[in-house]
A = this chain, B = another copy of it.
């Protein structure tokens, strides 16, 4: 096991640890540790809500989730010699839930959760159809996940960090704030919001304090969206064995990581759609000097996925196009097309006995594939979603005999938005 450079004590809050992480992006956050190129090290990660979500049968915690506190990130880690213009090579040597702790109140201690956020608290991909809060708890057995809230399925987790990235430069941060502010300004009172502006409340900025903290907290970017620095990309394929190349915008690169997922479907569609957990990640870092220009990588990560993802060979797939449920034709809207494909999958699964929210939670958490199948055939995009049939305990494919009806149990806890 590599040396632990960022330890977390499961019995203490994220802000009461030996080393304090951060939950905003800002170039001034000092490094939590400095490493040489070629170093391997272990990082503990707290689940993104720092323990606010519980292993119980109520969705109140999802309904009331404190979005200003996320994401609890570990780091930043500065790499000696890395300079703006370089590419940071990050190898994910290993990643998993909290070792040695099989049970406890923290997600990652033998369990994780998937949430559907209510519209008034962030919403999700299908928030129009699912305006309330729902939750599913998943139990881990080795790399397998099952849920009392979504019976009849069990699958191998596709474990990965939902969020990893380098620090923005001051200039880049200013661009983010400018363009996101401009978007917000087009509809400042929208629910859910169009974007999240800097928010000093609940900001955690590592070792920063005093005036430096105040200045940074006022302008630091929220961690929800992925951006030029990587960040919250929620790419389910960043599994063990992956190599990621990040652009370097500040000296040292300042790599941070968090938001570990035990599993996730493409899109993480319920917003808190993955199986959220705390845990550990082992990283190896190196540098390609001048790599941004050499390889034309000015922004966003490029990567090579690992080769141990769970394998499936039979899939049931659903398609959708960019027409709304009200039959309004949109122009090449792949986002809408994927929504429609997912809704089709949900409709289908309800025929087997699942509630719509159970199906929705499942699509967020299981290793489904979401593909942009057609993006040019005006006016309709075509998106497709592929579900591995082997995750079901029963036969889920269509036949002349019709669907079996499973006992879907009491279902997923729900909390009506206040």
Report which A residues bind B (CB closer than 8 A). Answer: 1-3, 40, 87, 89, 91-94, 99-102, 122, 124-125, 141-144, 156, 175, 179-180, 182-183, 192-196, 224-228, 230, 232-237, 240-241, 245, 266-271, 273, 282, 284, 288-289, 291, 294-321, 323, 327-335, 338, 340-341, 344, 347-348, 350-351, 369-384, 386, 389-390, 397-400, 402-403
Contact = CB atoms under 8 A, between A and B. Distances in A.
Given A192-B378, A288-B399, A338-B375, A304 B333 contact: no
Contacts of A3: 102
B300 A226 contact: no
Contact of A232 (B99, B194, B344, B374): B374
Copies of this chain in its oligomeric complex: 4
B267 A374 contact: yes
A-B complex: 9 closest residue pairs judged by Cβ atoms: A93-B142, A225-B380, A234-B374, A296-B347, A179-B329, A195-B379, A370-B372, A334-B335, A267-B375
Nearest to A399: B288
Given A304-B316, A307-B313, A334 B344 contact: no
14 contacts: A2-B102, A92-B142, A125-B376, A225-B378, A234-B377, A237-B317, A237-B386, A295-B351, A300-B341, A304-B389, A313-B314, A338-B372, A369-B371, A371-B372
B374 A235 contact: yes
Contact of A379 (B225, B300, B328): B225
Nearest to A350: B296
